[in-house]
Structure 1
Amino acid sequence: MTPPARLSAAIEVLADIAARRRPAADALKDWGLAHRFAGSGDRAAIASLVYDTLRRRASAAWIMSDESPRGLVIGMLRLQYGRAASTIAELFSGERFAPAPLSETEMRRLTEGTLADAPLHVAGDVPEWVLPSLEATFGAATLDELRALARRAPLDIRVNTLKRGRAEALEGLAHLGPAPTPHAPHGLRIPIGEDGRGPALHVEPEFIDGWYEIQDEGSQLASLLSGARPGETVVDLCAGGGGKTLSLAAMMDNAGRLIASDDDPRRLAPIHERLRRAGATAEIRTPRAGKARADVLADLDGTADRVLVDAPCTGSGTWRRNPDAKWRMRPNALGTRVGDQAGVLDRAARLVRPGGRITYITCSLLPEENDAAVAGLLERRPGDFAIVAAEAVLADRAPDLAPVIRLTTHGLQMSPALTGTDGFYVATLQRGG
């Protein structure tokens, strides 16, 4: 497919997303099934156009005075890719499969449109209702952070130290052009192309042999800050597919007792194969479906040295990777997640032993899911828990990270502009003896 034909396809997919209010991934999959002539490179390029347009949906609509899929793509080409009006006009030629030629109004908006007077939520490309929460987190740096949140995310992997060291992995993966991640001690960053497409890491022989897992640097750091050590009893309470479970197993060097569970048994399905591939050891506690199911962790109450709570959240810190999610999120979703977070924190509080610690993690930038959730546990369990100062946690596990995170009332916040990672929050609580 030619570049103009890919633009036409992207406009078609965006129209489907808008009309049916469906996730971008679903619309892209259906488009590919209906257009089997499109090769993998074409599909990847179209996906990049769609996601980049969603990243800049509000600002593109502003400069074009047009919220249609066509207007959004035109605005994105200027804002995200820096294309000149004349270059965009060549792509919108109307020939063969190219989009129709630009109108006089579209050319004028491309030339004259500006974000100088745009409201902050437009210039930052986020829903207006969530802006106050983001400003509470970022303050004067809000626009810089939102612009970073609208850029593409890097492609990071975590070297599995149960099988290889980072230096050995750097050499063995040289054909991928990796570089050490700026902050995570076992991370590597893999270059991606101009279209946002990276190599198919899951088919590399080294991946199949368990050398590495695909994991954002921020997620790697969040696991590291849990402080898990060999010989401890550690519970990964919201394990999901097992990304952080694998990190914990490596940190513990497979020595001790690592238990992984999740309230949704379907989320745990991939963990068994991932553990096998990584050579990692963990007990998997899978709850049965149904309202009357037994608590599969009841025998562990009061015994865990550490409980990791990678809490269900809005995922606002991952909007670089999932730009359509920010436009589909509604205020009631935040309220639902806040309730979920209170539930898992209360469960963690029962699991941890006196003197043990809870590490509470979200991939959220919203204080309602972060400091407020921790404050809620402290209020519900007065005198039972104390906050471990984030400075002490950093000094113990990642002293070089201190200059590139924000300290909050109860924890710390990583962010795209300051840390260069997804937006992870980490707080540590210690149970009184």
Structure 2
Amino acid sequence: MRLPGRIAAAIAVLAEVEARRRPVAEALKAWGLANRFAGAGDRAAIGNLVYDALRRRSSHAWAMGGETPRGLVLSVVVREWGETPQALAGLFSGDAHAPAALTEEEVARLEAADPLAGAPEHVRADMPEWVAPALREAWGETWVAEAQALAGRPPLDLRVNTLKAGRDKVLKELRRFAPLEGPVAPDGIRIPAGTRDSRTPNVLVEEGYRKGWFEVQDQGSQAVAELAGARAGEQVLDLCAGAGGKALAMAAAMRNKGQIFAHDSDRVRLAPIYDRLRRAGVRNVQVRAPAPGALDDLVGRMDRVVIDAPCTGSGTWRRRPDAKWKLTAEQVAARVAEQKAILEDGARYVKPGGVLVYITCSVLPEENGLQAAGFLAAHPEFSIVPGHSLWHGRFSGSPARARFSPEGGVALTPHTTGTDGFYLFAAARSG
């Protein structure tokens, strides 16, 4: 497919998403199945157009004078992919698969020197207007720049599994992808985000992945797993383990010594952990599937309880931009209530002298600092472990600089640390 056909396909996919409220990944898959002539490069390019349009939906819509799939994609092609209206006019001419010819108004808007003239802050930030006050509270005067970074393309991050390999070995294995050392976590590798129609490497088919040398995991997720501080010989409860990404990272940090109990209330989320543990050579993780009384024997016995709490996922909006525009205040409130209940439950398992670690992949203060402050106020037996001490103790040599919130938490963002958005606070129980 040539560029005009790819543009037309991206417009059609966005129209399908809008009309049927269909998840983007599902709509793209359906398009590919219905158009089997399209190769992998075509599908990647169309997906890039769609996701680029959604990441900066507000600003592209403002620039084009309306939020239509056609306007969004045309704006992406010119403002992010570097085409010109004149070049598009030539490409569209005589191409049976091209969209309709550009109108005079579209050309004028695409050529505007300042396409965001007069745009309010939430449009420049590419955020829903109702979310803006919370982000302003979280980030202060730099909130627009922070939000803009959260609207960019994400890199592909990997974590070297030090139980089986070293970083140099994996870098050599993946050298054809031009990998770099990660900016924060010591065992991280980064393949930078591409531009235009570039394809993200499918590292899951690599021999090193099949041998368990590395996992796909954002640098932010790696960093908070490191900050959780699990040590060899400890008894650790991973209360919301999901597919096991942080349990695997902690097992490697513990050198397979001690015990991690991996639990999740959802069997479906937990299911992938078994194969991942085997592939990674992890021997110190005991999976506790959801069942009545599954964790009763652990009450008051854990050196460390790690809660990777269910959240809005706002810190991962670079990867799932459609979720940014679907989020509602009611959904935030439901997550906050769920997090509060999980914190209350998790505190029961911490032994005197032990540590409770709370993690989200969110940038919203309701889920982060406010949640932490509320827990600490209700539990005087817990005292904060200062976030700056945790960070400088683990990442003193990193060029990245995390944010430290008033209650003592650590916040990571694309703008400050080059990672997805994450939050962590740790609290020690008095002995």
TM range (shorter): over 0.9
383-392 or 83-92, larger mean C-alpha shift: 83-92
User: Cα 1:196–1:96, aligned 2, differ >3 Å: closer, same or farther?
Assistant: same
- Counterpart of 1:378 (choices 376, 379, 384) is 376
- Counterpart of 2:405 (choices 388, 405, 408) is 408
One-letter amino acid of the structure 2 residue matched with residue 98 of structure 1: A
Measure the CA separation in 1 of the matches of 2:85 and 2:140. Answer: 35
Q: What is the match of residue 62 of structure 1? A: 62
CA contact (8 A) 1:94 1:100 kept: no
Deviation track 1:59-91 (CA, whole Å, cap 9, x = no partner) reads: 111011021110111122233224333233334
CA contact (8 A) 1:218 1:424 kept: yes
SS in 2 for 1:413: strand
SS in 1 for 2:297: helix
CA contact (8 A) 1:394 1:401 kept: no
CA contact (8 A) 1:302 1:354 kept: yes
CA shift, 1:295, in A, is 3.1
One-letter amino acid of the structure 1 residue matched with residue 229 of structure 2: G
Q: What is the match of residue 392 of structure 1? A: 389
Measure the CA separation in 1 of the matches of 2:382 and 2:67. Answer: 49
Give the length in aligned residue pairs. Answer: 427
Deviation track 1:360-400 (CA, whole Å, cap 9, x = no partner) reads: 1111111000011112212332x111111112212322223
CA contact (8 A) 1:394 1:402 kept: no
CA contact (8 A) 1:94 1:101 kept: no
CA shift, 1:231, in A, is 0.1
Deviation track 1:86-144 (CA, whole Å, cap 9, x = no partner) reads: 23333443621001100111111112262131011111111101011111111111121
403-412 or 81-90, larger mean C-alpha shift: 81-90
CA shift, 1:196, in A, is 4.4
Measure the CA separation in 2 of the matches of 1:297 and 1:183. Answer: 34
Describe how 1:324-339 pairs up with structure 2 within 5 A: 324-339=322-337
Measure the CA separation in 2 of the matches of 1:303 and 1:90. Answer: 70
Describe how 1:135-154 pairs up with structure 2 within 5 A: 135-154=136-155
CA contact (8 A) 2:183 2:400 kept: no
Deviation track 1:215-265 (CA, whole Å, cap 9, x = no partner) reads: 111110010001110000011111101111100100110000111011111
CA shift, 1:169, in A, is 2.2
Deviation track 1:280-299 (CA, whole Å, cap 9, x = no partner) reads: 121001114xxxxx131111
Measure the CA separation in 1 of the matches of 2:107 and 2:193. Answer: 32
CA contact (8 A) 2:179 2:190 kept: yes
Measure the CA separation in 2 of the matches of 1:94 and 1:414. Answer: 49
SS in 1 for 2:414: coil
Q: What is the match of residue 291 of structure 1? A: none
SS in 2 for 1:418: helix
Asked if 1:283 is matched to 2:286, the reply is yes
SS in 2 for 1:400: coil
Measure the CA separation in 1 of the matches of 2:275 and 2:53. Answer: 36
One-letter amino acid of the structure 2 residue matched with residue 43 of structure 1: R
7-16 or 170-179, larger mean C-alpha shift: 170-179
Q: What is the match of residue 343 of structure 2? A: 345
User: Cα 1:313–1:402, aligned 2, differ >3 Å: closer, same or farther?
Assistant: farther
Q: What is the match of residue 367 of structure 1? A: 365
CA contact (8 A) 2:232 2:255 kept: yes
One-letter amino acid of the structure 1 residue matched with residue 129 of structure 2: E
CA shift, 1:16, in A, is 0.5
Structure 1 alignment gaps of length 5 or more: 289-293
CA contact (8 A) 1:93 1:99 kept: no
One-letter amino acid of the structure 2 residue matched with residue 27 of structure 1: A
Q: What is the match of residue 419 of structure 2? A: 421
User: Cα 1:80–1:360, aligned 2, differ >3 Å: closer, same or farther?
Assistant: same
276-285 or 176-185, larger mean C-alpha shift: 176-185
User: Cα 1:252–1:143, aligned 2, differ >3 Å: closer, same or farther?
Assistant: same
CA contact (8 A) 1:259 1:283 kept: yes
User: Cα 1:250–1:19, aligned 2, differ >3 Å: closer, same or farther?
Assistant: same
318-327 or 389-398, larger mean C-alpha shift: 389-398
Q: What is the match of residue 164 of structure 1? A: 165
Asked if 1:20 is matched to 2:20, the reply is yes
User: Cα 1:96–1:212, aligned 2, differ >3 Å: closer, same or farther?
Assistant: same
User: Cα 1:320–1:49, aligned 2, differ >3 Å: closer, same or farther?
Assistant: same
Aligned residues with identical type, % of pairs: 51
SS in 2 for 1:430: strand
Deviation track 1:269-318 (CA, whole Å, cap 9, x = no partner) reads: 10000000000121001114xxxxx1311110111101111111111111
SS in 2 for 1:372: helix
One-letter amino acid of the structure 1 residue matched with residue 24 of structure 2: A
Q: What is the match of residue 261 of structure 1? A: 263
CA shift, 1:187, in A, is 0.5
Measure the CA separation in 2 of the matches of 1:101 and 1:336. Answer: 46
SS in 1 for 2:159: strand
C-alpha root-mean-square deviation of aligned residues, in Å? 1.5
Measure the CA separation in 2 of the matches of 1:145 and 1:114. Answer: 20
Structure 2 alignment gaps of length 5 or more: none
Q: What is the match of residue 179 of structure 1? A: 180
Q: What is the match of residue 38 of structure 2? A: 38
Measure the CA separation in 1 of the matches of 2:269 and 2:368. Answer: 23
Q: Calculate the TM-score normalised by the size of structure 2.
A: 0.96
Deviation track 1:17-61 (CA, whole Å, cap 9, x = no partner) reads: 001112101111111121122122211111111000101111111
Q: What is the match of residue 2 of structure 1? A: 2
- Counterpart of 1:207 (choices 200, 206, 209) is 209
Q: Calculate the TM-score normalised by the size of structure 1.
A: 0.95
CA contact (8 A) 2:184 2:400 kept: no
